[in-house]
Amino acid sequence: MNNFIVLPMVIPLVTAIVLVFLRENVRIMRTITVISLLLNIGISIFILHHVLHHGIIRLDFGNWLPPFGILFVADTFAMLLVATTNIVSLIILYYSFFSIGIKREKLYFYTFAHFLIAGVNGSFLTGDIFNLFVTFEVMLIASYVLITLGATRAQLIESIKYMAINVISSSIFLIAVALLYGSVGTLNMAHISVRIAESGETQLLTVISLIFLVVFALKSGLLLYYWLPGSYSTPPTAISALFGALLTKVGMYAIIRTFTLLFHHEQQITHTLIGIMAGLTLIGGMIGAIGYRNIRYIVSYNVIISVGFILIAVAVMEKEAMEGAVFYLIHDMYVKALLFLLAGATIFVSRTPRYDEISGLIRHYPVLGWSFFITILALAGLPPLSGFLGKMLIAQGALANGSYLLLALGIFSSFVALYSLLRVFMHSFWGETIIDRDEATPLSKKLLFPIVSLVFISLFLGLGAEVVGPYITEAANTLMNPGIYIDAILGNEEVN
């Protein structure tokens, strides 16, 4: 059973390599992509179910027992994100079949999309801090190719900024790993946690934790998000959706994992700073969301708002808030993918990215319009849609912790997100149509299918929350009680 853990990373890696040799046969590449992701979804859900009922499992590479070897760890939190990654990726890549164009498909699009998925899944599964750096780099190198795929002028301009920021952050990441290893003498994350608990979080370790925070903030867009709006707005819709759904989530996962498992002893410093950064991120995201008329920029700034909102849970460190963060993180992966696909479809049929140049689209595209409206309500957290439960739990945690300012900012950000996207909906879909029926750009049902699929998933998460509830509760319990994770890795091993 334990050997299955590596498959969510190995399957996309093998698929990516196979697709290198099939670049001229688009139909076969599409078929292999679907089969690969369906297989990965099935395996991920199977492991997730097993972990819930039988506990955390690990795979020691080369049979090197912890804390000496590299390992993958499957706990409920990691497997929830892995399963969600595979489902979202399948839906986005299906959308790409009919939108990204044959030319880009033959430029190894599917190969690097699978490398990206492999890096994301590996980041969620690794139990080694250096291996986290390695899987980050797999993900980032693939994203460097995807952001420039097609080589338009706007893409190349934004890619320079994106690559420069990530090269700097990766360099700092490597320095932080070296400093941490020099301080505690191990790279196994469970063992690091034990070593820090034994020695106490010294001033040096606190400084190292802040370096990690800067690195992961750059990756996730927590306060240091200057690179994000442009980078997520210029690539083709399918690539933007992959970025918006997956990349920032890996950075948030890293913050949640490291500051609940490793650096949780000096919360008055580290977690207070996370709270300040989350609050400022919310403010910056709100300003950007209402300051632009470009639909893709508005969607990108809503990604930033979500980053700030989710990480309120890490700042307050209450069980309810952590449950809310896990649930909202899953919700956000689906809804942000959906939002980027909706934005891309809207721009495709209107031929302009500015919402103030569009009107009355709902007359010709009712499914697209009502899907957009339902997505707005889900993102704003209106019951009974998927955003409500996560936001309510995070708000309860902030209230229990006495973090009233963060609570107020979080609630206000929901109204701003609602306003920013409702403004797009009212201008673009409502009012008198400016497009005659004969001039309307046809919107294929094949493009609408992934959009409607994501809408139904969002509805299911909201209306069927009791189905995923046990998984969310178990994931939050493991995060709030690091001893559970540590015992699963080091329980029967010598750790001195």
338 vs 379: CA distance, rounded Å: 10
pLDDT at 437: 67
Coil, strand or helix at 378: helix
The residue among 114, 116, 186 whose CA lies nearest residue 144 is: 116
User: Taking the CA atoms of the chain, what radius of gyration do you get in angstroms?
Assistant: 22
> Taking residues 342-357, what's their average pLDDT?
91
pLDDT at 351: 86
The residue among 171, 309, 299 whose CA lies nearest residue 243 is: 299
Q: What is the mean pLDDT of the chain?
A: 93
Please say whether the beta carbons of 341 and 449 come within 8 A.
no
Task: Pull the structure tokens for residue 142.
Answer: 């693939």
Token pair 């920029």 is found at 297
460 vs 468: CA distance, rounded Å: 10
Please say whether the beta carbons of 92 and 102 come within 8 A.
no
| Strand-pair partners of 354 | 294
The residue among 26, 140, 144, 48 whose CA lies nearest residue 93 is: 26
163 vs 138: CA distance, rounded Å: 14
Phi, psi of 188 (to 5 degrees): -65, 125
Beta carbons within 10 angstroms of residue 141's beta carbon = 16
Amino acid found at 237: T
Q: Which residues contact 166 (CB under 8 A, 6 or more apart)?
A: 140, 143, 144, 218, 219
Please say whether the beta carbons of 348 and 392 come within 8 A.
no
410 vs 407: CA distance, rounded Å: 5
Distance of alpha carbon 440 from its chain centroid, rounded? 34
1 vs 364: CA distance, rounded Å: 51
| Global confidence as pTM | 0.95
Least reliable range by pLDDT among 120-124, 172-176, 430-434: 430-434
Phi, psi of 345 (to 5 degrees): -65, -40
The band of 265, judged by pLDDT with boundaries at 50, 70 and 90, is confident
Kind and range of the H or E run holding 344:
helix 319-350
Please say whether the beta carbons of 99 and 56 come within 8 A.
no
Tell me the CA distances in angstroms from 350 to 256, 436, 447, one per residue in order: 40, 12, 15
Q: What is the pLDDT of residues 197-225, one digit of tens each?
A: 988 778 999 999 999 999 999 999 999 89
| % the chain with pLDDT above 90 | 84
Q: Is the pLDDT of residue 494 over 50?
A: no
Task: Pull the structure tokens for residue 409.
Answer: 């900012």
The band of 151, judged by pLDDT with boundaries at 50, 70 and 90, is confident
Please say whether the beta carbons of 270 and 263 come within 8 A.
yes
pLDDT at 450: 96
pLDDT at 356: 87
Coil, strand or helix at 430: coil
Buried b vs exposed e over 166-201: b needs ≥16 C-beta within 10 Å? beebbeebeebbebbeebbebbbbbbbbbbbeeeeb
242 vs 387: CA distance, rounded Å: 20
Amino acid found at 350: S
